[in-house]
Copies of this chain bind each other. A is one copy, B any other.
Amino acid sequence: MVDKTEMLDELEKGPWPSFVSQIKEQAEKNPISRDLLRQLEQSYKDKKLYWRHGGVVGVWGYGSGMIGRYSARPDLFPGVAEFHTVRLNNPSGWFYNTKSLRQMCDIWEKYGSGLLYMHGMTGDILLLGTTTENLQPCFDELSSEASFDLGGSGPGIRTISCCVGPARCEWACYDTLDVTYDLTMTFQSEMHRPSLPHKFKIKCSGCPNDCVGAILRSDLPIIGTWRDTIQIDQEAVSEYINGGFDIVSYVINRCPTQCMRLTEKELGINDRECSRCMHCINVLPKALRPGKERGATILIGGKTQLVEGTIISSVLIPFIKLTPPYQEIKDLVNKIWDFWGEYARGRERVGEFIQRIGLGDFLEGMGIEPNPYMVAHPRENPHIKFEEYYREGD
């Protein structure tokens, strides 16, 4: 039915589930998948991709959410002459019920390759491969029948993602799912009709473990933390010790701030020195928990490599409480967009923008007071740009 796929067949071997088998299964019945398989085999043979560069596609009313793709050899692989992807904004925390997923599958069976990523690297459901013609009806059905909407692409806010948070994690310091959903709904227009200098990502992690990698994978990470003291259940501590767990080696000695002490089976934490790294809590989940005065640290500027190099986000707001409707966050985002929108160069991520103009000037532009929490350390050079001086006659 399909040509020989000697190279790809090799990738059906071995214990890990095979994407090739996934494609093959569809290739039996779906011409798009069939030619994807054939073209991919060709790529494997020639060590080279067979896609043409770029191509803008979309649906009515939206300026984002779909990535156009065309085969470089439509003559050989007509099934993938057009092979666009549709990005569906995932629900908070990637939670689904089977009804919803089945609806989505049925629609994608009708209009697309039957292949998808669960999920794309930004968090979307990525429906892999359909024709230009099918985009609009496919989207219409996804939206009206299955209640899905598009995710982001282009120079706008992208699909927000978050960790499982309070839904199943005992360490969530704020409601990551709700913040994600609320902000997503608030910023729909900017997501679907992008008009920022470059992409803008928000990711929400419930605690410093940062299970969605917000600090490096997003422009505006919201990372849960607490301001008071770690909650200790001394009985549970004793149980760990009695169970033979070496608390000193694995917890106390690994505490980066060395702020823990074990005295006669009482575990003490000097919380003023604790840097909220989570390690002790991670290792002793039954005995320790984040404090009660919970909220988040908001950071800014994370991104990967291009053009100015990978940037790990840095602290913008050391601590903020997060309660609906999360107005401070929304105001903050709008302020950033205004300022960055006005002064950024084209295709300059907010992190690059800050590195160019300097965090000090960025704060000033945003009307945020400088704070030593924002820096690892103060400057190490004397080139202070004092802003005023007296002239003769002043």
Contact = CB atoms under 8 A, between A and B. Distances in A.
Give chain A's interface secondary structure class: loop
Interface in A358-382: 380-382
Contacts of A305: 381-382
A309 B382 CA distance: 9
A103 interface: no
Contacts of A5: none
Copies of this protein in the assembly total 2
A310 B381 CA distance: 7
Interface in A306-360: 309-310
A309 B380 CA distance: 9
Contacts of A381: 305, 309-310
A305 B379 CA distance: 13
A210 B305 CA distance: 38
A178 B305 CA distance: 50
Contacts of A309: 380-381
Nearest to A380: B310
Contacts of A310: 380-381
Interface in A142-195: none
Interface in A294-311: 305, 309-310
A381 B311 CA distance: 11
Nearest to A306: B382
Contacts of A380: 309-310
Nearest to A309: B381
A45 to B, nearest CB: 19
Nearest to A381: B309
A191 B144 CA distance: 84
6 contacts: A305-B381, A305-B382, A309-B380, A309-B381, A310-B380, A310-B381
Report, nearest first, the 6 A-B pairs whose CB atoms are least far apart.
A309-B381, A305-B382, A305-B381, A310-B381, A310-B380, A309-B380
